[in-house]
Amino acid sequence: MKLRLKPDVARRLVWSHPDSSIAPFCSLCQGYIPEDSIPLRMWTNEGACVQFCDGCASYAVEAE
């Protein structure tokens, strides 16, 4: 299955930089993601990353 960001979501995301560690916050709502959670993560070809809490993942991503 291939996933993609919904068009209205992409411009509101906070991306991690390719050379930095991933902060424990949702890239959309900025809510804390606990260590024992497994967030949905997506990367660009350059290595930048976004991650989503469960609530934002169902809102922000759609299957192709």
Of the candidates 44, 6, 3, 10, the one whose C-alpha atom is nearest the C-alpha of residue 27 is 10
CB atoms within 10 A of CB 15: 14
Q: Is the pLDDT of residue 10 over 90?
A: no
Which pLDDT score, from 0 to 100, does residue 1 have?
82
22-59 confidence digits (pLDDT tens): 889 999 999 999 999 999 999 999 999 999 999 999 99
Is the pLDDT confidence value at 12 over 90? yes
Dihedral sign, Cα of residue 24, residue 28, residue 31, residue 33: negative
- pLDDT of 7 above 90: no
Mean pLDDT (whole number) for 6-23: 90
